[in-house]
Amino acid sequence: MLIQKPAMPGVAPQRVPIVELRNIHVAFGGVRAVAGVTLDLYPGEVVGVVGGNGAGKTTLMRTLSGARPPDSGQIFVNGQPVTIGNPRDAKALGIETIYQTLALADNLDAPANVFLGREVTSAATLNDAAMESATRKVIGRLNPNFKNFKTPVLRLSGGQRQAVAIARAIHFNARALIMDEPTAALGPAETAQVHALIRQLKSEGIGIFLVSHDIHDVFDLSERISVMYHGKLVGTVNKNDVTTDEVLGMIILGKPPTKLTQQELAELHG
């Protein structure tokens, strides 16, 4: 549910982020993996989180997922300060992570994966019919053409496997998703399927942090792009205000677009 602050008469209500990471710091020993980063995410928005290897984007997202609590800084959900000490805390707040590996049980079918660890039981036995019915409904929202509900997910296409992983997240009322390299190693047709899934999630008001090395994916799907460099935030830009070269310059040189010279941009292709 979108929470709005009360508006003054004649003033439009102010949107509140689903999630806000404010001044987050994370260190491993003497190495600052994340240094004072602030990001936010609104309902129905995709924010691309990009940067080179070691930039800190994965560590930052791990703080939100509960895998690595921050050393300092604050996390807000729907405008309220929260503490996320482990993945269970994140899930309870409606924050789910879809890892690159998808973390699916390959020998099980779609319903068994959607309810893995949260099985529906009746009279102390698994209620397979209830789980299949719920899975058909949630996957039907995402991909009406999905038919392989009895097939082990190992035999599904990459796009279909993504649909199962996403269905598992949103069935349990996720409002914010962290998606880690969702199209890695997928062909063009499967990538198009995943793009369609993400656009459907946006239409339902779900916010997505999209972590990706694929600059074309990021430009296709994101409204805003946040670039990290050596643990710091170079900046967050509106996609429509920048070129792919300018974002590449932010990633490679660690400079905001206003400080990139034409020569530096030209040398990116040299």
Every domain of the chain and the residues it spans = 19-267
- The pLDDT confidence band at residue 7, using thresholds 50, 70 and 90, is very low
How many CB atoms lie under 10 A from the CB of residue 155?
Answer: 11
Rg (CA), the chain: 20
Q: What is the CATH number of domain 19-267?
A: 3.40.50.300
Tens of pLDDT, residues 195-234:
999 999 999 999 999 999 999 999 999 999 999 999 999 9
Tokens 């190992």: give the residue: 154
Which pTM value belongs to this model? 0.90
Per DSSP, the three-state class of 47 is strand
Quote the pLDDT of residue 177: 97
How far, in Å, CA of 175 to CA of 238, rounded?
Answer: 22
Instruction: Give the model confidence (pLDDT) of 240-266 as tens digits.
Output: 999 999 999 999 999 999 998 889 888
Stretch 81-106: mean pLDDT, rounded? 94
Per-residue model confidence as pLDDT tens digits over 31-50: 999 999 999 999 999 999 99
Q: Say whether pLDDT at 5 is over 60.
A: no
Shortest CA distance to 176 belongs to which of 146, 201, 154, 194?
201
Q: Could you tell me the CA-to-CA distances from 94 to 87, 170, 177, 233 in Å, in that order?
A: 11, 9, 8, 25
